[in-house]
Structure 1
Amino acid sequence: MSQSARSNGFGRVLVVVYGVLAIAATGRSLVQIVRDFDAAPLAYSLSAAAALVYILATVALLKRGAGWRRVAVATIGFELVGVLAVGVLSLTAPELFGHPSVWSWFGMGYGFIPLILPIVGLWWVLRGSERNNNAH
């Protein structure tokens, strides 16, 4: 996917949404960890991990090249697995968490954006990869 495809239209919206979620998850996790880490260490650690994933995904979506595309796919794939696993566990074993994380209940606290975003992100990145492969 070319840099222009990422910086215009839908690609720009995707990067902005990832950036906003990165800021929101980072802020939330920092406040949770500083204020009351002992109350829910797993949930708050997962929120911090989600924040790091969103930051790396945002950077990977902005950068050019096959290496960054692989980072984007790996990061967004990890995000999808994480939100699905934490979503299921938060419903089936809520006692593990103590408090909600970004990915609890499939991202319900964030309007389910954490569930939808990696599906859309993977589609976008892989769609661009296919387009680039067909052009060569």
Structure 2
Amino acid sequence: MSEPAPVEGYAHETGRGFGRVLVFVYGVLAFAASGRASFELLAKFSDAPVPYGLSVLAAVVYVVATWALATNRRRVALLAVCFELVGVLAVGFGSLLWTSKFPEASVWSDFGIGYGCVPLVLPLVGLWWILRGSR
């Protein structure tokens, strides 16, 4: 199967400059969220299945977004980052409104406060960067 043709003006952006920084930050968050989700899933999932399940979902989204950004798959990256933003907002509001469903925090609880609100800001930056490259 052949590689998709690079999009002009986008093909090498993740290899240098701000694109490289964005991929790095997504990679760090993917690593952190995957480690957290793995521990929660294996050690204490029955304590709080909703937030811990959402941590697993967040980890998967960050891994997919990192891969898509690093390999210049703009459409996949756009979908992953949009999903991430909707997830952060939905879980953020949900964790504030329905505290009984969130006895423990997830990666996206309280809009990612446990990660310095990076989960809230990162998809906005990611969307800006992806859409800027499509012009």
Q: What TM-score results when the alignment is normalised by the length of structure 1?
A: 0.91
Runs of at least 4 residues off by over 6 Å:
none
Task: Tell me the alpha carbon deviations over residues 6-33 of structure 1, each in whole angstroms, 9 at most, x when there is no partner.
Answer: 1111111100000000000000011011
Partner of 1:15: 23
The question of 1:61 aligning with 2:69 is answered yes
Structure 2 residue identity aligned to 1:39 = D
Partner of 1:4: 12
1:94 shift after superposition: 1.1
Structure 2 residue identity aligned to 1:11 = G
Q: Distance in 2 between matches of 1:41 and 1:113?
A: 23
Instruction: Decide which of 12, 33, 36 is 2:44's aligned counterpart.
Output: 36
Partner of 2:109: 104
1:55 shift after superposition: 0.2
Task: Tell me the alpha carbon deviations over residues 78-128 of structure 1, each in whole angstroms, 9 at most, x when there is no partner.
Answer: 000000000001111111122000000000000000000000001100100
Secondary structure of the residue aligned to 2:134 is helix
Structure 2 residue identity aligned to 1:40 = A
Partner of 1:50: 58
Instruction: Tell me the number of residue pairs that the alignment of Structure 1 and Structure 2 aligns.
Output: 127
1:4 shift after superposition: 2.3
Q: Percent identity?
A: 55
Q: What TM-score results when the alignment is normalised by the length of structure 2?
A: 0.91
- CA RMSD between the two structures: 0.8
1:3 shift after superposition: 3.2
| Structure 1 unpaired stretches of 5+ | 131-136
The question of 1:78 aligning with 2:83 is answered yes
1:2 shift after superposition: 2.6
